[in-house]
């Protein structure tokens, strides 16, 4: 009997311990990220007024630095509305309530669970409650998404990692601690790329980006075929334009390209496309590279006017874009995000080595052309060859650079 009684006592004690283990385990906030994890966001601001200059951000990327217990840091890189880029190190400590404005919270929290927030906005410590959760497809993968909110913000987190994937914040008649008054603004943040979980990608690219690249390449590849057909059928008057008409069309090209690009930069809502700025830039650079190759095809066929017009389009697009960056004060930018590893530094250095000569040769070739010139083919032959070599090299390195910076292909 004594043996049975002792056994029963042991069973009760063990059962109590087993039931208590989750309680003890849950007392320590769980960090769901590790060093090297990153995620990028696009930010849209609507309403009346403007955010404080230090918070007028349109894109940001966070990358996790070494983790120790419940404490870690992130490298936050932000692109502001004026085009400048800044970088800062943010420190997190779940035990002390440092959750960076709910950017990253403890992992595996479900409805009814809370996390401690020292509150960088008010300075008052609070316990924030997870209000609900649902299964949701994020970047092509089924994830459990949790939700939480307070009087001015609503956030969504990936439950397994604790990283926020979207938010909406409303500011009405608010005066910041720096004295900046905000009348009525809504700030919407959406995650656009990450390496935190496996995504439905092709070579690290979203399917939508791959499809866009295929369409761009297909359209550009058909241009020479269409031109050949029209030329043989003698229906393309553009092949036999007079010198005055070539001058007029060249001027019209300049006006149209400059106007279109300026309007696109200032008006077009790129954030609604559902892809990141880097992915949009990749598609645009593919278009310019394709136009350079198409231009060289027309040159080989002796159609120098069409050859020069396409080169003019590419060159003007670059000049307008580069000028816009200059006006956005590039000297205030930080290059930390592009040189944080040896591989990134090498890739960006190579990109610059090939890109600068390519752009110089492009501008040089455009400046040499004169309507009706008989010496242009000879004078520009070597420049055209160097342009193609450097431009293709620049595009290949740029594509690899994109994979290094914005995908997990080389990780």
Task: For residues 54 and 178, give the distance between their C-alpha atoms in angstroms, rounded to a whole number.
Answer: 10
> What is the separation of C-alpha 325 from the centre of its chain, rounded to a whole number of angstroms?
17
Task: Identify the bridge partners of residue 346 per DSSP, sorted by sequence position.
Answer: none
Q: Model confidence over 162-188: pLDDT tens digits? A: 999 999 988 887 777 676 777 788 889
Q: What pLDDT does residue 235 have? A: 53
Q: Which residues of 77-100 are buried (b: 16+ CB within 10 A; e: fewer)?
A: bbbbbebbbbbeebebbbeebbbb
Is residue 351 within 8 A of residue 401, CB to CB? The reply is: yes
Q: Report which of 80, 82, 72, 131 is spatially closest to residue 103, judged by C-alpha positions.
A: 72
In a domain, 95, yes or no: yes
Residue 75 shares a structural domain with residue 213: no
Q: Model confidence over 7-59: pLDDT tens digits? A: 444 444 444 444 444 444 446 789 999 988 989 998 988 888 778 777 788 88
Instruction: Show pLDDT as tens, one digit a residue, over the chain (411 residues).
Output: 444 444 444 444 444 444 444 444 446 789 999 988 989 998 988 888 778 777 788 889 999 999 999 999 999 998 888 778 888 999 999 998 889 889 999 999 999 999 998 876 666 788 899 999 998 888 777 889 999 988 888 999 999 999 999 999 888 877 776 767 777 888 899 998 888 886 666 666 667 777 777 877 787 777 777 766 666 665 555 556 667 777 787 788 778 877 877 777 666 666 556 566 677 778 888 888 888 998 899 888 888 888 888 888 888 888 777 676 555 443 333 444 455 567 767 777 888 888 889 989 998 988 888 887 788 888 889 999 999 999 999 999 888 888 777 665 655
146: containing domain: 38-194
In a domain, 33, yes or no: no
Residue 271 shares a structural domain with residue 345: yes
Residue 294 shares a structural domain with residue 174: no
Residue 154 shares a structural domain with residue 222: no
In a domain, 16, yes or no: no
- 3-class DSSP state of 190: strand
Residue 252 shares a structural domain with residue 340: yes
Q: Which long-range contacts (CB under 8 A, 24 or more apart) does 243-252 make?
A: 243/371, 243/372, 244/371, 246/305, 246/371, 246/372, 247/371, 249/309, 250/308, 250/309, 250/312, 250/371
In a domain, 17, yes or no: no
Residue 342 shares a structural domain with residue 370: yes
Q: Report which of 117, 121, 108, 194 is spatially closest to residue 152, judged by C-alpha positions.
A: 121
**Count of other CB atoms within 10 angstroms of residue 230:** 14
In a domain, 7, yes or no: no
Q: For 37, what's the count of Cα atoms within 13 Å in the CB-facing half-sphere?
A: 18
Is residue 296 within 8 A of residue 388, CB to CB? The reply is: yes
Task: For residues 199 and 221, give the distance between their C-alpha atoms in angstroms, rounded to a whole number.
Answer: 30
In a domain, 311, yes or no: yes
Q: Residue 97: phi, psi to the nearest 5?
A: 90, 15
Q: How many residues does the chain have?
A: 411
In a domain, 133, yes or no: yes
Number of domains forming the structure of the chain? 2
Question: What six digits make up the tokens of 296?
Answer: 């060289």
Task: Identify the bridge partners of residue 158 per DSSP, sorted by sequence position.
Answer: 145
The interaxial angle of helices 304-327 and 277-300, nearest 10 deg, is 150
Is residue 207 within 8 A of residue 200, CB to CB? The reply is: yes
Total-model pTM:
0.56
In a domain, 25, yes or no: no
Residue 57 shares a structural domain with residue 142: yes
Residue 189 shares a structural domain with residue 230: no
Q: What pLDDT does residue 6 have? A: 47
The interaxial angle of helices 277-300 and 381-406, nearest 10 deg, is 160
Residue 344 shares a structural domain with residue 402: yes
Query: Beta-strand (E) ranges in 331-378?
Result: none
Residue 188 shares a structural domain with residue 211: no
Residue 399 shares a structural domain with residue 329: yes
Residue 173 shares a structural domain with residue 223: no
Q: What pLDDT does residue 76 have? A: 92
Task: For residues 320 and 339, give the distance between their C-alpha atoms in angstroms, rounded to a whole number.
Answer: 26
Task: For residues 403 and 336, give the distance between their C-alpha atoms in angstroms, rounded to a whole number.
Answer: 17
Q: Which residues of 252-269 are buried (b: 16+ CB within 10 A; e: fewer)?
A: ebeeebeeebeeeeeeee
The interaxial angle of helices 304-327 and 243-267, nearest 10 deg, is 30
């Amino acid at each position: 009997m004594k043996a049975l009684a002792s056994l029963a006592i042991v069973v009760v004690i063990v059962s109590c311990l087993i039931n208590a283990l989750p309680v003890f385990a849950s007392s320590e906030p769980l960090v769901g990220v590790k060093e090297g994890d990153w995620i990028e966001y696009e930010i849209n601001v609507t309403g009346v007024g403007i955010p404080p200059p230090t918070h007028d951000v349109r894109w940001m990327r966070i990358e996790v630095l070494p983790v120790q217990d419940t404490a870690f840091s992130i490298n936050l890189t932000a692109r502001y509305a004026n085009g400048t880029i800044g970088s800062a190190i943010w420190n997190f400590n779940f035990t002390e309530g440092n959750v960076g404005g709910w950017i990253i919270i403890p992992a595996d929290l479900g409805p009814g669970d809370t996390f401690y927030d020292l509150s960088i906005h008010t300075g008052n410590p609070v316990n924030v409650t997870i209000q609900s959760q649902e299964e949701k497809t994020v970047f092509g993968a089924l994830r459990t998404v949790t939700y939480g909110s307070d009087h001015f913000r609503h956030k969504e987190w990936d439950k397994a990692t604790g990283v926020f994937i979207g938010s909406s914040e409303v500011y009405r008649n608010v005066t910041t601690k720096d004295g900046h008054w905000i009348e009525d603004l809504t700030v919407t943040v959406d995650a656009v790329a990450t390496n935190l979980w496996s995504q439905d990608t092709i070579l690290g690219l979203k399917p939508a980006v791959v499809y866009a690249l295929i369409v761009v390449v297909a359209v550009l590849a058909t241009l020479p075929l269409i031109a050949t057909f029209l030329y043989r059928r003698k229906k393309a008057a553009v092949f036999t334009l007079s010198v005055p008409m070539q001058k007029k069309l060249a001027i019209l090209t300049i006006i149209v390209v400059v106007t279109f690009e300026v309007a696109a930069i200032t008006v077009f809502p790129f954030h609604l496309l559902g892809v990141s700025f880097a992915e949009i830039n990749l598609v645009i650079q593919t278009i310019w590279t394709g136009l350079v190759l198409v231009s060289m095809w027309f040159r080989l066929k002796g159609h120098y006017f069409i050859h020069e017009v396409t080169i003019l389009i590419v060159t003007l697009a670059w000049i307008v874009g580069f000028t816009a960056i200059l006006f956005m004060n590039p000297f205030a930018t930080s290059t930390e995000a592009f040189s944080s590893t040896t591989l990134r530094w090498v890739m960006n250095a190579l990109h610059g080595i090939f890109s600068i000569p390519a752009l110089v040769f492009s501008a040089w070739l455009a400046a040499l052309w004169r309507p009706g010139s008989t010496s242009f083919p000879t004078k520009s032959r070597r420049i055209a060859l160097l342009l193609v070599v450097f431009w293709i090299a620049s595009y290949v390195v740029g594509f690899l650079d994109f994979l290094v910076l914005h995908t997990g292909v080389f990780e």
